Amino acid sequence: MVMVTVWGSLRAFTDDRAAVEVEASTFKEVLDALSRDYPGLQVQIKAGVSMAIDGVIYKDAWFTPIRPDSEVVLMPLMVGG
Amino acid sequence: MALDEYQKRDFKIIGTTPVRPDGVDKVTGRAQYGADFYLPGMLVGKMLRSPHAHARIKSIDVSAAKALPGVKAVVTGADFPATAKGDTLDVQEHCLANGVALYDGHAVAAVAAVDANVAKQALKLIKVDYEILPHVTNIEDAIKPDAPIVQAGRRGRHVPEGYSDNCTGWCEFGHGDLEAGFAKADKIITRTFKTSSTHQGYIEPNACLANMGADGRADMWCCTQGHFQVRNLCAQIMDMDQSALRVTASEIGGGFGGKTTVFIEPVALLLSQKAGLPVKLVMTRDEVFKASGPTVASMTDVRIGMTNDGKITAGDALIRYEGGAWPNSTIFPGAQSAFASYDLEAVRAQGLNTLTNRPLQAAYRAPGAPQSTYAVEAVVDELCEVLGLDPIDVRLKNAAQKGTKSSYGPTYDDIGLIQLLEAAKAHPHYSAPLGPNQGRGISNGFWFNFGGETSVSLALNFDGTITLVEGNPDIGGSRAAMSMMAAEELGIAYEKVRTIVADTASLGHNEVTHGSRVTFAVGLATIKAARAAKAEMCRRAAKIWGIDADAVVWEDGFAKPAGANAGEHDPMPIEKIAADSPRTGGPIVGHHEVTADGAGVSFGVHICDIEVDPETGFTKVLRYTVLQDAGKAIHPDYVEGQMQGGAVQGIGWALNEEYIYGEDGRLQNAGFLDYRIPVASDLPKIDTVILEIPNPGHPYGVRGVGETGIVPPLAAISNAMSRTIGVRMAELPMSPPRVLKAIKEKG
């Protein structure tokens, strides 16, 4: 199990919780578990998200391993200029 | 992406400043920009644009235009295949309206003709019957519940009650107990700040040449920050296979985020398809201002509490952006960046995006960050003034560092903000005396940086030279930087490597040149491609020597035997391995493909001195110093140029640049005479201090440097203004009339 922090406006879909626990050991498993356990997040996940794992921001890195004690933060998809 | 990529080492080429490979072409006029491509039989494309801010297109009669001799094609939005969806459909409709004109300058039809005069005549013959609709062009009015609705059905699902249906996005970031934090404060300041929409101000207008064949296959040449993105967007809009469209990027006369999407390219393809001939489309300056993508305008409420000794106890912001007539996501990085420089126990940043009858915003260097950072840094500065505290000491007391839980969620790894602030405090600029009507401001700035999909190929030629093929347009010196990294890794001279930017048919997908990603991500791929080539060269030498490949090492451009059982062999130079390669197994090529992550965030600190003429309100920038963490500066001159360029654009944003819309919803200043960007004679030399705190996610420690430099200037100049005239101005630009008004109202 890993604890995943979501940004404030997504808490409407996580029972108003800032962080939720899901069964996952990779980037993709986190997204799959969030989509399954909190269906309201599916729209945002489909639109695109990044994920910070232990302070490093990843984009679409499906197979990046996540340890049970990793800090996992869901973030909007990163863009730049 | 492994986080142990970085390995400390001594460099021979990295950190030097060799001659840029594009320099001679650019100063002699040989370089080919977007408008410099010609094909036999080429037609000239022109676009008809709406004179209304918001109008239903009841009908378009193109019959007279089609009948004009010399006209080969006329198209409207209805001629696109009806296959694009979602964000791509928004891009398509921004290029060419379909049913409704959503802003002044929105294209409603296009023609292709044998020359520009005929094309212009044809535009005059197109009859458009408009039904004028109510419009809204500013944030305050657009978010009101009774505002004219720009596009129905676009309300964001998170948007709170009380806002109009123009509001497409709402977000919130932060942590901690805000009210408990504010209760600990000795002083709380709340203010509202506004910034205007500004343009990236690139000198080269958007331009493209499209050539669609009768078989449905097409080629395109255009100025862009990302030709793979151009290909993919155009292919979706035109319902083509991606392989059916090959896009070649020209040299680019500036982009700064503004050329990360398409504005005319699908229209040129559509015209070429209809005409059966090549079509060139080049925007005029008026069109660039009206119908490309400026940055968002903003209105931000900030509330910050501080103790008497300078500890920030809580920070709260409501950030509102408008980005034109379609949804966009710039509010996200805006809200995430606002407080990112600080280590706060209680922080919240809420973001709201609204539609307006303006062109769809595009990225502009660190999109969204300068506006929100300006508001936060101005209030921090005001608290310092009120409490009599040194602004750098306060920032040091509250600075984010390794282990800080950032305001947007993750915990920081190695970052350099403390070192930057200490360097700023020690810099002679910070303690230099000031004269009458002069003031000094400082500001922090933060940007994420980015990696993304990257594909690189490195070929060993038979004479031992290297052709490095990358897929990102060279905007800030990437060809030099890639050549340097390849040469460093191979142990050969910089001059032996030529880096070219390949077309979309020659490499795997490359993400747009944005997010300060190229030196990081393409550099990483270049190093790994070079390492792959080195490994193959060692294998070839081992075959020649008849020893195991793992008994060969690569040093300074030579394969050398290593280890007890390797035997005695003279080192084999790269030139010999290359010359023998047809007989030892064939051409030698290293390549690497990756979605790069671990870009490493970046911080900057700016110090600015200004002088204000109390009679006219004119502001002169006297001295300006940029301090920034580059991770590792590959080519320090280019890094310095990025830092200076960001500062200059920020200075223009702070002092003069703004989109001005009239009551009729039309843009009043679509040209460089009325939209005032700073030129060299307006500015002092921008001093730079490059700090190098290695990024653990890159073999050489590189962080992106292209965007952070534009984040601090808005606040740095605003803070200097406050300390000069004694008034906290809260709206940008601080143009002479506004400054004079503030001085007079102060009395």
Is residue B219 within 8 Å of B246, Cβ to Cβ?
Answer: yes
Q: What is the largest CA-CA distance in chain A?
A: 36
Topology of domain B451-596 in CATH is Aldehyde Oxidoreductase; domain 4 (3.30.365)
CB-nearest to B329 from A5, A64, A79 is A79
Residues of A in contact with B364 (CB under 8 A): 81
Percent of chain B with pLDDT over 90: 97
Query: What are the Cα distances from residue B277, in Å, to B45, B120, B210?
Result: 11, 18, 9
> Which pLDDT value is given to residue B136?
98
Helix B713-725 / helix B369-387 crossing angle, nearest 10 deg: 30
Residues of B in contact with A78 (CB under 8 A): 333, 448, 450, 515
> Which pLDDT value is given to residue B3?
54
Tell me the count of A-B CB pairs closer than 8 A: 106
pLDDT tens, residue by residue, B343-367: 999 999 999 999 999 999 999 999 9
Topology of domain B297-449+600-746 in CATH is Aldehyde Oxidoreductase; domain 4 (3.30.365)
Percent of chain A with pLDDT over 70: 100
Percent of chain B with pLDDT over 70: 99
Is residue B223 within 8 Å of B251, Cβ to Cβ?
Answer: yes
CB-nearest to A81 from B257, B410, B597 is B257
Residue A64 backbone phi and psi in degrees, to 5? -65, 125
pLDDT tens, residue by residue, B632-654: 999 999 999 999 999 999 999 99
Q: B6 pLDDT exceeds 90?
A: no
* Domains: count for chain A: 1
Residues of B in contact with A27 (CB under 8 A): none
Residue B272 backbone phi and psi in degrees, to 5? -65, -40
Q: What is the largest CA-CA distance in chain B?
A: 89
CA end-to-end distance (rounded Å), chain B: 59
pLDDT band at B7 (very low <50, low <70, confident <90, very high): confident
Domain hosting A31: range is 2-76
Residues of A in contact with B363 (CB under 8 A): 79-81
Predicted structure pTM score: 0.96
pLDDT tens, residue by residue, B662-681: 999 999 999 999 999 999 99
Is residue B610 within 8 Å of B619, Cβ to Cβ?
Answer: yes
Q: Hey, are the CB atoms on B329 and A77 less than 8 Å from each other?
A: yes
How far apart are alpha carbons B669 and B199 in whole angstroms?
11
| Mean pLDDT rounded to a whole number for chain B | 97
pLDDT tens, residue by residue, B680-698: 999 999 999 999 999 989 9
Question: Is A36 a domain residue?
Answer: yes
How far apart are alpha carbons B641 and B623 in whole angstroms?
17
Chain A closest-CA separation from residue B349 CA (Å): 9
The DSSP call for residue B518 is I
How far apart are alpha carbons B424 and B400 in whole angstroms?
16
Task: Check the CA dihedral B296-B301-B306-B312 and report its sign.
Answer: negative
Question: Is A81 a domain residue?
Answer: no
CB-nearest to A73 from B157, B410, B595 is B410
Is the ipTM higher than 0.90? The answer is yes
How far apart are alpha carbons B684 and B571 in whole angstroms?
52
Chain A closest-CA separation from residue B95 CA (Å): 20
CB-nearest to A9 from B172, B363, B365 is B172
Q: Hey, are the CB atoms on B515 and A81 less than 8 Å from each other?
A: yes
Segments of B401-503 assigned E as strands: 438-447, 452-460, 466-470, 497-501
pLDDT tens, residue by residue, A1-26: 999 999 999 999 999 999 999 999 99
Q: Where are the domains of chain B?
A: 39-133+204-253+259-291, 297-449+600-746, 451-596
Q: B482 pLDDT exceeds 80?
A: yes
pLDDT tens, residue by residue, B17-54: 999 999 999 999 999 999 999 999 999 999 999 999 99
Q: Hey, are the CB atoms on A75 and B172 less than 8 Å from each other?
A: no
How far apart are alpha carbons B669 and B428 in whole angstroms?
40
CB-nearest to A57 from B175, B260, B597 is B597
Q: Hey, are the CB atoms on B448 and A80 less than 8 Å from each other?
A: yes
pLDDT tens, residue by residue, B172-223: 999 999 999 999 999 999 999 999 999 999 999 999 999 999 999 999 999 9
> Which pLDDT value is given to residue B565?
81
pLDDT tens, residue by residue, B61-108: 999 999 999 999 999 999 999 999 999 999 999 999 999 999 999 999
Q: Residue B501's beta-bridge partner residues?
A: B470
Question: Is A6 a domain residue?
Answer: yes
> Which pLDDT value is given to residue B10?
95
Question: Is A71 a domain residue?
Answer: yes
Residue B3 burial class via C-beta count within 10 angstroms: exposed 0-12, middle 13-18, buried 19 and up = middle
- Structure tokens belonging to residue B294: 């400026």
**H-run or E-run covering B375:** helix B369-387
- Structure tokens belonging to residue B475: 């905007």
SS3 content of chain B, % helix, strand, coil (to 5): 30, 25, 45
- Structure tokens belonging to residue B257: 């985020």
Query: What are the Cα distances from residue B424, in Å, to B276, B340, B386, B626, B701?
Result: 60, 19, 22, 9, 22
Question: Is A47 a domain residue?
Answer: yes
How far apart are alpha carbons B342 and A7 in whole angstroms?
18
For residue A49, give the chain B residue with the closest CA. B332
CB-nearest to B707 from A59, A73, A81 is A81
pLDDT (mean) for B477-504: 98
Q: Hey, are the CB atoms on A80 and B514 less than 8 Å from each other?
A: yes
How far apart are alpha carbons B400 and B531 in whole angstroms?
36
Type of residue at B434: L
pLDDT tens, residue by residue, B607-622: 999 999 999 999 999 9
Higher-pLDDT residue of B696, A37: A37
pLDDT band at B4 (very low <50, low <70, confident <90, very high): low
> Which pLDDT value is given to residue B613?
98
Output the 3-class SS for B300-324: EEEEEEECCCCCEEEEEEEEEEECC
pLDDT tens, residue by residue, B508-553: 999 999 999 999 999 999 999 999 999 999 999 999 999 999 999 9
Sequence-distant (≥ 6) Cβ neighbours of residue B570 within 8 angstroms: none
Q: Hey, are the CB atoms on A59 and B172 less than 8 Å from each other?
A: no
Domain of A50, CATH number, reads 3.10.20.30
Chain B closest-CA separation from residue A70 CA (Å): 11
How far apart are alpha carbons B742 and B730 in whole angstroms?
10
Output the 3-class SS for B324-359: CCCCCCCHHHHHHHCCCCECCCCEEEEEEEECCCCC
| Closest listed residue to residue B233, CA positions, set B73, B94, B330 | B94
CB-nearest to A8 from B173, B412, B598 is B173
Q: B1 pLDDT exceeds 60?
A: no
| Closest listed residue to residue B303, CA positions, set B375, B369, B370, B371 | B375
Residues of B in contact with A52 (CB under 8 A): 409-410
CB-nearest to B410 from A60, A71, A77 is A71
> Which pLDDT value is given to residue B674?
96
Residues of A in contact with B258 (CB under 8 A): 81
B297-449+600-746 and B451-596: identical CATH topology:
yes
Chain B closest-CA separation from residue A69 CA (Å): 13
Residues of B in contact with A19 (CB under 8 A): none
pLDDT band at B580 (very low <50, low <70, confident <90, very high): very high
Q: Count CB atoms within 10 A of the CB of residue B145.
A: 10
> Which pLDDT value is given to residue B563?
81
Topology of domain B39-133+204-253+259-291 in CATH is Aldehyde Oxidoreductase; domain 3 (3.90.1170)
**Which residue of B332, B514, B597, B705 to mutate against A (max A Cβ within 10 Å)?**
B597
Q: Hey, are the CB atoms on A81 and B348 less than 8 Å from each other?
A: no
Q: What is the residue-wise DSSP string for B112-178? A: EESSHHHHHHHHHH-EEEEEE-----SHHHHTSTTSPPSSTT---TTPPTTS-TTEEEEEEEEES-H
